[in-house]
Every structure is written in C-alpha cells, then in structure tokens.
Structure 1
Amino acid sequence: MTDIPSSLEDVAEACGTRAALALLAHFEGIDLYFPHNPRPDHPILQALGPEDGPAVCHYMAGETVTIPNRSPAKRRARILALHEQGLSTAAIARKMHQTQRWVREVIRRAGEDDQGDLFG
C-alpha cells in the first residue's frame, strides 16, 4: 500500500483502498473525527459516498485521525496560485483545509523570496 499513509493503512485494510484514498483526497491536512452515528449530510458521508462513508464511520467510530499532507510544496504553490487569483485568505483557508494564519504565512514568505537583493 505505497500510496496509503501509515495513519490510514487500517482503514484501507478494513474498508478498502478506495475509501482510504478518498479520505486523503477530501480531508488532507486535518484532524478528522469519525462520529458513531453521522447525519446523512455529514462531510465524511458526502465525501466517501453511501457505501464507503458509513462503513468507515462504523469502523473508526469515536476515533480522531490526522489525515497527513501528501505534498506540502504543492499545497504552498496552490495557495499562492489562489492568492494570485484574488481569493481572500479566508477563502483560501477553507478551500485548502488550512488555517488563515498558515495561508498568510505562506503568502508572506513568498513575498520575501520575491524581493531583490538590497545590496546586490
């Protein structure tokens, strides 16, 4: 299971690789709590669908799992691209499942990299 992070290997074994990869795709970079009895509109059920969603929630009931980031460099590049498109830090944070503070930090650091050498 080379594409599955170690934190999701149990989910992949019990509920299938498709479910584990869907969790990674939809909830990357956040701590995800699995409710015992999720509502039909719960984000996990919406993301994984009517078969995988309930199965994963049943298997992981009451647990919180940190869904890892696959590629921080790609995430930073995506944040900067969204910033260039004019999205607010709040909108970028929601879209990227990051805090606004982190989004501002990524943008600030990119600005430092773009500055020329003052004495060069």
Structure 2
Amino acid sequence: MNHIPNNLHEVPRSLVDVAEVFGMGVFIRFVEHFGGTEVKFRRHPGDDHPVVVALGKQDGLALCNFLSGQTVYVPHMRSRRNARRDVLLLQEQGKTRAEIARLLCISQRHVRRMANASENTSQLKLFD
C-alpha cells in the first residue's frame, strides 16, 4: 500500500464501514493482504478461510460475519504502473489472475486488462 490512510476520509468508500466498525488497523491489514483482488465472504467460514488466516481468528471471523455472503473488491491503494510484460510472463507460468495481482501489487482488474490487451502493432519495436 503506497498511501496509508490517516482517517476515514481517505478510506475508499466501499470499505468505510470496515474501517469504522473494525478500526484502521484491521482495515490496513485487510488491504495490505487482499488489495487488488475480490474476496468472497462465506456465511460460515472455517479456520482456513483466507481472511481468517490473514487477520487472525477473532478479527477474521468477525469481518467474515460482517460481510457474510458478499464478494468485495479490495482496492490496492497503490499508484498505477504498466505491468503488461510481467502479467504475461506470470500468466505463462500458470499463475491465476488473483495470484498475479498479489505478486505485482496491482488490481485483478488491471491484470485482466493487461492480459486481454492486444499488442500495439503500429509501434515500432526497438529490438527484434
């Protein structure tokens, strides 16, 4: 996370409730771990649910209960960068788009855009 919010006014609107109910510490840990991906919150998560593992049992189960049954996009709060080459390389290695997003610290949506973008054929290549 490039920018750590100091107050609720800097928290993305989609996660203000999380920061208000659970505090900025839980919000920051949640974004640092899941930023750039979509998280599915099961109605009855087990101890192996990724949120429970990342935040600890108490905070993880409480957050899962709070967002039960929802899928939430977690913004990564990082500056944008051109990562097409890295995305394509990791994709060739068999990584999922969620894994690529976490590895490159970019959003899953950005990974999808980079992976689906066609090569610009009008641009001259520097090297063959």
Scaled by the length of structure 1, the TM-score of the pair is 0.66
**Residues 50 and 91 of structure 1: CA distance in aligned 2, closer, same or farther (over 3 Å):** same
Q: Secondary structure at the match of 1:31?
A: strand
Does the 8 Å CA contact 1:34/1:60 hold for their aligned counterparts? yes
Deviations 1:81-100 (A, max 9, x none): 465xx534432722315377
Q: Secondary structure at the match of 1:91?
A: coil
For the pair 1:95 / 2:100, whether they are aligned, the reply is yes
5+ long unaligned stretches in structure 2: 1-7, 103-107
Count of matched residue positions in the alignment of Structure 1 and Structure 2: 110
The alignment-based identity, stated in percent, is: 29
Does the 8 Å CA contact 1:92/1:103 hold for their aligned counterparts? no
| Matches for 1:36-75 after TM superposition, within 5 Å | 36-71=43-78, 73-74=80-81
Deviating above 4 A after TM superposition, structure 1's stretches of 4 or more consecutive aligned residues are none
- One-letter amino acid of the structure 2 residue matched with residue 16 of structure 1: G
Scaled by the length of structure 2, the TM-score of the pair is 0.63
- Give the alignment's Cα RMSD to 1 decimal: 3.2
Greater relative contact order (Cα < 8 A, sep 6+): 2
Structure showing the higher helix proportion among its residues: 1
